[in-house]
Amino acid sequence: MVAGTIKNTIVIKNNFHSNANSLYVHCLSKNDDIGEHWLTVGQTIAWSFHVNTWSTTLFHCYAQWGNKTKRFNAFEWEGTTKNCCVDKGRVTWVLEENGLRAIETDPERIPQDKELTKLNWD
């Protein structure tokens, strides 16, 4: 696969059962800061991009809901989430009480959602 040929979309969704706390999310790469967001239950943020020429694209995020926190790589060409998110088109990170799940959610590429990986809160 050639870097930059597939448009990637990352979605972060608050799937907690309660609005007792807003979900704080801050995602960025070396060149792009997606910004700080406070999401209520059901809300999402999303951004799209192409992998850079050097195939070093990395978007990392920090999430906090009450006393639950997690730093994770939402997209990484090489490394821990490579098999999760590269060449998937659209990946939705669902954040909920029992952890974070990355799900391939591109209806043009797959017939139904497919769970890619799961992470625990710190």
Domain at 103, CATH number: 2.60.40
Contacts (Cβ under 8 Å, ≥6 apart) of 105: 11, 90, 91, 92, 113
pLDDT of residue 1: 46
- The rounded distance, in Å, linking the Cα atoms of 107 and 33 is 27
- Is 2 domain-assigned? no
- Tell me if 36 sits within 8 A of 28, measured CB to CB: no
* Predicted local confidence at residue 108, as pLDDT: 73
Count up the domains in the chain and report the number.
1
Whether 1 is in a domain gets the answer: no
Q: What is the pLDDT of residues 58-89, one digit of tens each?
A: 899 999 999 999 999 999 876 555 556 767 78
pLDDT(42) > 70: yes
pTM: 0.87
Between 88 and 16, whose confidence is greater? 16
| Domain that residue 85 falls in | 7-119
